[in-house]
Structure 1
Amino acid sequence: MNRRTFNPDQIRQLETNPHVTSVSDCTIQYNGEFKVHAVRENLAGKRPIEIFEESGFDLLVIGKQTANEALKRWRRTYRMYGEEGLLNDRRGKSNLGGRPKQDESVERRLAKAEARIKYLTAENELPKKARSSRKRGETPSLTATERYQAINMVVQKLSSGRFVTELCTLAEVSRSGYYAWIARRDIDSLREERDYADYLLLKRVHDRHNGRLGYRGLYMEILDLSGVPMNHKRILRLMRKFGIVTKIRRQNAYRKLAKATYEHRTVPNHLNRRFNQEEPGKVLVTDITYLRIGSGQNVYLSCVKDVATREILAHHVSTSLRMELVLHTTKKLEERLQGNIHPEAMIHSDQGFHYTHPAYQARIREMGMVQSMSRRGNCLDNAPMESFFGHLKDYVDYSLASDLDEVCAMVDAYIDYYNCERRQWKLQKMTPAQYRSHLIAA
């Protein structure tokens, strides 16, 4: 509380200001026009100190705290009563619903009854929100915010705040809580407007990717789009608030394509889930998946992925599961590497008959790579490749393709997007191609 007192010279100085009506040893009375002007300037963005200095006040005399407290008090009066409340000094008046006199008049009792009827009517107009925590058969009650809304509706209808205390007692809420809710409305309104604007941005980005981006993908897309990051916790809150749901792929058990013959040989799991690699080309993973196109035919996709950069280095699409599927993939991989094979290069796969076949194993040895295999029936040992196939099937609507050429074009377009445009959270928010350049430079 401000305990500043004024000496006779300061009182004479303050009395010369046209915005002051009277001055005592410790208080200053301002005229209503100055209060209205000060509130308008403050709402326009000016600080209280600037407003008082421009109006001829010496802040060394009245104090900066006095200016701030005065504007805070005037803004509160302005929110509740408008300019009329500032022009007519309301301090000391009992028209805010204070304690009733013992000898109430008939008119006041009728007015209180009317206020009670209007409150009950307003309460009935508000929606009753049934909550899961309530017992069955229990009458749903209004929240504190809904009761404040009902009280405010009555005050607006009566165009008076005379019965606020009675209405708060009737609604079983505190009077201070009601006025605190009044003061928060503007802040809450601004927050809601900002949330809705950010929701529209999130919704636009989310829809552009067919609802397949999670909060991390949205974070990176918005950062790339606007250059300004949006906190990932805020993105999660807005997604829950406005019901933005990401499509999540369901697990599809890998079907064994064929049983290995006695000529097929498995190799140990040299990789052993060491997926955190920092050298491009050192550890590669490979696998095959199938895509059922619109004609009902199964098309098979074979891919090779770099574990360090998460980049798809080679892929091949075929309508047949013959050995040529993986042999063509290894040929494309060799062309992509152009002889720059890491001295400790390793290629990891599952125990499918393609990878246990003598022809494939001989080809890997010719390329100078060590072969590694997952344990039997354990898809998590080849998780990076399974993850890519899951994202591809989420993004590419291959069921619309009618032949091999169309599905090849779809797969080629997605792999280009995946390698060069799709940012990944664990790649320092870079694309695989950017991250490869980053690792090479490091």
Structure 2
Amino acid sequence: MNAKDEQFAFIHAYSDQYPITKLVEITSVSRAGYYKWFARKGQNIQDRKDESLLPYLIKIFNEHKGTYGRKRIKMELENQYDMMVNEKRISRIMRKYGLRCKIRRKRCKHKPQPYGEIPNVLNRKFKAIKPGKKLAIDITYAKVAKGFQQWVYVCAIKDLFNQEIVAYSMGTSQNMRLVYRALEKLKKRRFAKGALLHSDQGVQFTNPGYRKRLKTMGLIQSMSRRGNCWDNACIENFFGHVKTELPCFFQPETVHEVQEAVEAFIYYYNN
């Protein structure tokens, strides 16, 4: 075995414990060279290593009636045989030799929506024939590069008739005041009596104070189904524009600069 083969064998011997990139750094061979070597010679070495470990895996697997997966087999190898084996290697050998753990079935409990059932009145019917009839609300964020605060949060309300952002507020916390300020701005705009205001299931929009405020304003609340972002795609589309296009126009760094940039972008987007 020449010097390079010895280094490749060294990398392979410790590849279960350390990343290949790190092992290559402490040798004089390349990562690409190691993979070429492994394709030529390493497979046979790996097979022999797997075969030497296989009897222990089968013994533990059978002792526990096939209920042990890679994590518990790893623990058992350490406790019974004082063998330290990487979980990924155990998983690969189990797949290779058809040792399938009897996985417990995960039971998903469908939790009720907070504060009662809020219907999805909008139901992805995003087209509106009149302004101020169908509105959507949500919260997004913009990164702050300098200063103590990391994010500026934006609560925006969109009119689905012409895709205009008709009200918005910004702040360094996504609390209820952020949402209420946006609703106060919406009050100053015209919207139809009994207009629909759609949101996702964020905690701000299931808050009793928020729901009470919508009733006071004469708005009908609509809410997306649990875990279904497409139900509120109309405003998610706007947030996608903000995150993709705003950096093309502005390079804000401080909280104040970010707020000014978002405000300028909303004006640009609306017009």
TM range (shorter): 0.5 to 0.7
Query: Within 5 A, what are the aligned runs for 1:88-107?
Result: none
Query: Within 5 A, what are the aligned runs for 1:116-135?
Result: none
SS of residue paired to 2:119: coil
Give the structure 2 partner of residue 274 of structure 1: 125
Give the structure 1 partner of residue 187 of structure 2: 334
Give the distance between the partners of 2:133 and 2:236, measured in 1 at CA.
19
For the 8 Å contact 1:294–1:399, the answer to whether it is kept is no
Amino acid at match of 1:389: F
Give the structure 2 partner of residue 393 of structure 1: 243
- How many residues are aligned here? 158
Give the structure 1 partner of residue 168 of structure 2: 315
Amino acid at match of 2:165: I
Q: 1:409 Cα deviation (Å)?
A: 0.8
Give the distance between the partners of 2:141 and 2:116, measured in 1 at CA.
24
Q: 1:387 Cα deviation (Å)?
A: 0.4
For the 8 Å contact 1:374–1:381, the answer to whether it is kept is yes
Alignment pair present for 1:382 and 2:232 = yes
Amino acid at match of 1:355: F
For the 8 Å contact 1:265–1:358, the answer to whether it is kept is no
Alignment pair present for 1:364 and 2:214 = yes
Query: Within 5 A, what are the aligned runs for 1:211-360?
Result: 264-295=115-146, 297-337=150-190, 341-360=191-210
Q: Cα gap change, 1:294/1:314 in structure 2, threshold over 3 Å: closer, same or farther?
A: same
Normalization by structure 1: what TM-score? 0.34
Amino acid at match of 1:280: P
For the 8 Å contact 1:284–1:304, the answer to whether it is kept is yes
Gaps of 5+ in 2: 1-110
Q: Cα gap change, 1:325/1:301 in structure 2, threshold over 3 Å: closer, same or farther?
A: same
SS of residue paired to 1:313: strand
Q: 1:285 Cα deviation (Å)?
A: 0.4
CA-atom RMSD, angstroms?
2.2
Give the distance between the partners of 2:154 and 2:219, measured in 1 at CA.
22
For the 8 Å contact 1:264–1:356, the answer to whether it is kept is yes
Q: 1:309 Cα deviation (Å)?
A: 0.8
- Which of 409, 413, 416 does residue 260 from structure 2 map onto? 409
The C-alpha deviation readout for 1:367-397, integer Å capped at 9, x for no partner, is 0010000001111101110000001111112
For the 8 Å contact 2:250–2:261, the answer to whether it is kept is no
Which protein is bigger by CA-based radius of gyration? 1
Q: Cα gap change, 1:400/1:310 in structure 2, threshold over 3 Å: closer, same or farther?
A: same
Q: 1:319 Cα deviation (Å)?
A: 0.4
Gaps of 5+ in 1: 1-259, 421-442
Give the distance between the partners of 2:196 and 2:205, measured in 1 at CA.
14
Q: Cα gap change, 1:407/1:366 in structure 2, threshold over 3 Å: closer, same or farther?
A: same
Q: Cα gap change, 1:403/1:373 in structure 2, threshold over 3 Å: closer, same or farther?
A: same
Q: 1:333 Cα deviation (Å)?
A: 0.8
Among all aligned residue pairs of Structure 1 and Structure 2, give the percentage whose two residues are the same amino acid. Answer: 43
Q: Cα gap change, 1:322/1:399 in structure 2, threshold over 3 Å: closer, same or farther?
A: farther
Q: 1:327 Cα deviation (Å)?
A: 0.6
SS of residue paired to 1:396: helix
Give the distance between the partners of 2:226 and 2:196, measured in 1 at CA.
19
Give the distance between the partners of 1:299 and 1:399, measured in 2 at CA.
15
Q: 1:299 Cα deviation (Å)?
A: 1.4
For the 8 Å contact 1:264–1:353, the answer to whether it is kept is no
Alignment pair present for 1:418 and 2:269 = yes
Give the distance between the partners of 1:372 and 1:413, measured in 2 at CA.
29
For the 8 Å contact 2:152–2:259, the answer to whether it is kept is no
SS of residue paired to 1:284: strand
